[in-house]
Chains A and B, each alone.
Chain A
């Protein structure tokens, strides 16, 4: 057999049927569901009298709409339509017999954090969810991507998806990262280099020493934002770290099944000589802590830089840059570290895991915030519990952060956590689009350490300055 990429291997193992025109029916191992994109799909099943084909492979959790304040058990904290959407998921989960983590369950959290945490996401699987950041699960060497509502219904009813195969792209990060540089800086730097459409039509495999050196949390951060680069999915080949993370998780295999799984997982790598349609190589040493200055995730610069001028760009990007600067209220030539911050948000499926909270707490320890508002929203109830056990919660609280319950929170303006018009936020989330965090809100995407540093100084700050590192 010709050498194959990791993507080729997972794809081949999931083809149920291939039509003459190349369209495939792909088997889906795990279907994750949340409250916003699923109600119509379940309604469709009811209208046609269909069932969920594999309820044991379907996992639902409410996250987008749920308030994250500690008083959220009080229904008054939710708007009527949000409450209805969550109630619909409660009912659908029950009626169709799927796995469910309701708001009251300590395991509830952001769907992309809960899946891996509970051992639902495993190497070599196909994973889908009606949410574009499903790419996160690629960190395990599983083929994971977002789908629309009709497709959610299609997967519920048939456990398959109609797909055409994408192209292979390799993104290699060589060498090691410098101190203060994180997975978030890798993924933002890749998007900065390729642009938001650079990955369109591709499945990206991230590889290289710097990727191997990342923890599973860091790998999830990298894959999470593959979609911001336009890619269909991001993948990282599983290794000992992956296996160690999966072992003992509630839904991971045990005993003989574990051994069989492990033997299979060890075949999941790109063969020597396999073909990639596009290759990008970045030196790990060259990556600095970065920040976004504009309203597209590709508007990335090292924190040591200055706000660009529209004349630095060409083509259609000139106008877009001007529009971004106007929206963001920034002046060309202004030092990025001079940009004052009102609010700091640490959380989301990009950076709401325990390691992210540890990184932020390490910077915050014994310090006080200067920004008007700062919040930490753990990605799941279990992350929250662990952070409390490790004493991280107290560090955040002592510094002046709000210590929240799990959910998507201020990553998107669909729940009560929103920016006011003109309010400027350093956020560890993934989208800096106009209005994403609230109408007129201004978002700078950063790593957790950088967010913590900005919280302390009140302006965008090079986290290395807070670590005693020289640039």
Chain B
């Protein structure tokens, strides 16, 4: 998993509430064998017409936001199905941070497992950042995980909360597997003990 320390990038404004995982990545794309490659189908039904043409109005199709790395959105981002394909699709497109007033639980956790920082901020902060994001490609936003702040292009800064342990993992690029592997010695000794107690297993 990639580390997340600070990120300065273009933020795409998505002033919608309840952006669900079906919208993020519709079910017909779950037959894939990869985690990567889902970016082209991110927000597929909002982004393309039925015959596969880009819908010019959709924010990520606009020239200013094609390289967005941050999404600013409304309440309850990531609700619905628990599919891990949703954070995979965001990451594959290049999104490393989503800023919203609230997130669905499973999606929130899945983000941390995939190197994406979900930032929860109050409505006033979201309003300010949404306006900032609307300024397009010249308005870069900075997300600093160490100091737990988001700074708009006008210099206005907002502090956010994050679980200390999750922060530690994300800043050091530690996934669950990485952490468990730090306990490899315990696993080794468990296996050695089990081999005598339950040799058939």
Contact = CB atoms under 8 A, between A and B. Distances in A.
Interface of A: 13, 16-17, 25, 27, 29, 36, 39-40, 43-44, 48, 50, 53, 65, 81-82, 84-85, 88, 122, 124-125, 148-150, 153-154, 157-160, 162, 252-253, 257-258, 260-261, 264, 414
B180 A150 contact: no
B149 interface: no
B200 A150 contact: no
B181 A16 contact: no
27 contacts: A13-B197, A16-B186, A25-B186, A27-B194, A36-B30, A40-B33, A40-B34, A40-B88, A43-B33, A43-B36, A44-B35, A50-B177, A81-B32, A122-B200, A122-B201, A125-B201, A149-B84, A150-B176, A158-B177, A159-B187, A253-B199, A257-B199, A257-B200, A260-B200, A261-B198, A261-B200, A414-B31
A43 B34 contact: yes
Interface string B186-200: 110011001001111
B84 to A, nearest CB: 5
A224 B184 CA distance: 33
Given A53-B187, A125-B201, 13 more contacts: A16-B183, A16-B186, A17-B183, A17-B186, A27-B194, A29-B201, A85-B31, A124-B198, A150-B110, A157-B177, A158-B180, A158-B187, A160-B180
A162 B33 contact: no
Interface in B9-49: 30-36
Contacts of A44: 35
B33 A25 contact: no
Nearest to A53: B187
B6 interface: no
A16 B192 CA distance: 11
B84 A162 contact: no
Interface residues of B, number: 28
B113 A150 contact: yes
B101 interface: no
Contacts of B151: none
Nearest to B31: A81
B32 A39 contact: yes
Contacts of B194: 27
Interface of B: 30-36, 82, 84, 88, 110, 113, 176-177, 180-181, 183-184, 186-187, 190-191, 194, 197-201
B33 A154 contact: no
Q: For B110, B177, B191, which residue has the most chain A Cβ atoms within 10 angstroms? A: B177
Contact of B35 (A43, A84, A157, A252): A43
Contact of B181 (A85, A153, A157): A157
B177 A258 contact: no
A356 to B, nearest CB: 29
Contacts of A154: 176-177, 180
B187 A160 contact: yes
